[in-house]
Amino acid sequence: MAMIMAVNAGSSSLKFQLIEMPAEKVIAKGQVERIGLTDSIFTLKFNGEKVELIQDINDHEQAINLLLNQLQEHNLIEQFNDIKGVGHRVVAGGEWFNKSHIIDEDALEKIERLASYAPLHNPANAMGIRVFQELLPDAVSVAVFDTAFHQTLTRDKYLYALPYEYYTKYGARKYGMHGTSHRYVAHRGAEVMGRDLKDLKMITLHLGAGASVTAIKDGVSFDTSMGFTPLAGLMMATRTGDVDPSLVYYIQEREGLTNEQMLNVLNKKSGLLGISTISSDMRDLQDVEATNEHAALAMKMFVNRVVRYVGEYTAEMGGLDALVFTAGIGENSSIIRERVLEQLAYMGITFDPEVNKRRDDEMIISNPDSKVTVMKIATNEELMIARDVQELMNEQ
Ligand SMILES: Nc1ncnc2c1ncn2[C@@H]1O[C@H](COP(=O)(O)OP(=O)(O)O)[C@@H](O)[C@H]1O
Ligand SMILES: CC(=O)OP(=O)(O)O
Ligand SMILES: [Mg+2]
């Protein structure tokens, strides 16, 4: 029996679970949401108790400190001596890592060197790794990469139509992200359907602050919407998603921005925030869309891009059997799911809007006569992380 801590730093959140393995028993779990916004939400659940705090949390460092203080306050820190392994979500693994890896100095240095492959994430991931290594020097430390699941993409899918030498010289290619989540919900989705994933053409929609779409065929990742970095693909909370690259230079020149400032606009000032001008959080937009034209426009654009990718990937796979919604928006926003599904009626998708409003962690939303089975599956990246930590510890 081993106690494992799984740490998942997202762009707007920090999530963790303390899990007893191999029983997969969750001892404590919690999250900090809305990092960098006002009224950040901290929740901690243990022994049937729930703690909730609302306060402004500016960055991941503050989030980790708050988490550690709270664990201490509720005497959960004593369990730290029992923690044998800590698993960290790391967004970019480049071509160095195609599976989870024990973190030694060399691996940590590589994770830090991959910062330009995931500028909002890898530095925060590396910071989390160092904090926990100091706190628990004897625990095995493991990195679980978002990019690993997408290593099955074939060259025709992962290359950009740039001069080929940029791929060989600089690793300029699509890596894809959110792989741990896409992998988890794809397998759970197939189980809910009572089917073998290998026999299904499936699209998984991970719609959180970062958002991505994955096409899954023959049980593996076939194509995915994020790219060299998590900036590509869907419109996101603060990221543009796909944009004509010529516009970047056009705007940069006129606004007199440095490269770094321009990247900051694309990563942190765009997306739902950029269009709505009021918030990057879908909850805030839903609250005011009836009276705020910009909030309504941002939501319309968000839905449109999801619909576009579903069509694109269905065409690439030559059909679609199953569609899965997950992550913050995918799991919690029945409005967004409803609007996406209404626009997919042309595919023969039918669903009951009342069923769609239910809050179960796992559910089939589509009607039995629907040509595509539509599901909502709550993701669990932390469980996948804990499983990989356990596996690597067993191999040691
Ligand atoms: N009840 C809700 N309705 C609509 N959107 C929600 C709801 N709850 C959370 N969200 C959205 O989910 C996003 C966070 O998703 P999450 O997957 O936790 O993000 P990340 O892991 O990328 O930080 C928030 O930005 C918010 O827009
Ligand atoms: C890769 C990525 O965008 O992650 P997140 O959604 O957690 O920001
Ligand atoms: Mg996330």
> Do 246 and 325 belong to one domain?
yes
> Do 250 and 360 belong to one domain?
yes
**Tens of pLDDT, residues 142-194:** 999 999 999 999 999 999 999 999 999 999 999 999 999 999 999 999 999 99
> Do 106 and 238 belong to one domain?
no
If we measure between CA atoms, which residue out of 263, 253, 176 comes closest to residue 220? 176
176 three-state secondary structure? coil
> Do 134 and 234 belong to one domain?
no
In a domain, 160, yes or no: no
ipTM of the prediction greater than 0.95, yes or no: yes
Domain endpoint, select from 110, 145, 180: 145
Question: Which residues, including other chains, have CB under 8 Å from residue 175's CB and lie 6 or more apart?
Answer: 92, 93, 94, 117, 147, 150, 158, 226, 227, 228
Rounded distance from Cα 124 to ligand 2 centre (Å): 12
Q: Whose CA is nearest to atom 3 of ligand 2?
A: 210
> Do 129 and 202 belong to one domain?
no
Q: What is the pLDDT of residue 135?
A: 84
> Do 133 and 236 belong to one domain?
no
Please say whether the beta carbons of 231 and 347 come within 8 A. Answer: no
In a domain, 150, yes or no: no
> Do 137 and 208 belong to one domain?
no
> Which structural domain, as residue segments, surrounds residue 73?
2-145
Rounded distance from Cα 364 to ligand 1 centre (Å): 21
Structural domains of the chain, count:
2
Q: How far is CA 332 from the centre of its chain?
A: 15
In a domain, 180, yes or no: no
> Do 284 and 350 belong to one domain?
yes
The best mutation among 11, 32, 33 to test binding of ligand 1, ranked by most ligand atoms within 8 Å of the C-beta, falls on 33
12 three-state secondary structure? coil
Rounded distance from Cα 209 to ligand 2 centre (Å): 7
* Domain of residue 88, CATH code: 3.30.420.40
Lining ligand 2 with CB less than 6 A are 10-11, 91, 121, 146, 177-178, 208-210, 230
The answer to whether 171 is a known ligand-binding residue is no
**Tens of pLDDT, residues 239-292:** 999 999 999 999 999 999 999 999 999 999 999 999 999 999 999 999 999 999
> Do 127 and 199 belong to one domain?
no
Domain endpoint, select from 121, 145, 169: 145
If we measure between CA atoms, which residue out of 64, 44, 40, 60 comes closest to residue 52? 44
> Do 109 and 239 belong to one domain?
no
The answer to whether 239 is a known ligand-binding residue is no
Lining ligand 1 with CB less than 6 A are 10-13, 208-210, 237, 281-283, 286, 327-329, 332-333
**Tens of pLDDT, residues 103-143:** 999 999 999 999 999 998 999 999 999 988 988 899 999 99
Q: Is the dihedral of CA 93, 206, 196, 188 positive or negative?
A: positive
**Tens of pLDDT, residues 4-61:** 999 998 888 999 999 999 999 999 999 999 998 889 999 999 989 999 999 999 988 8
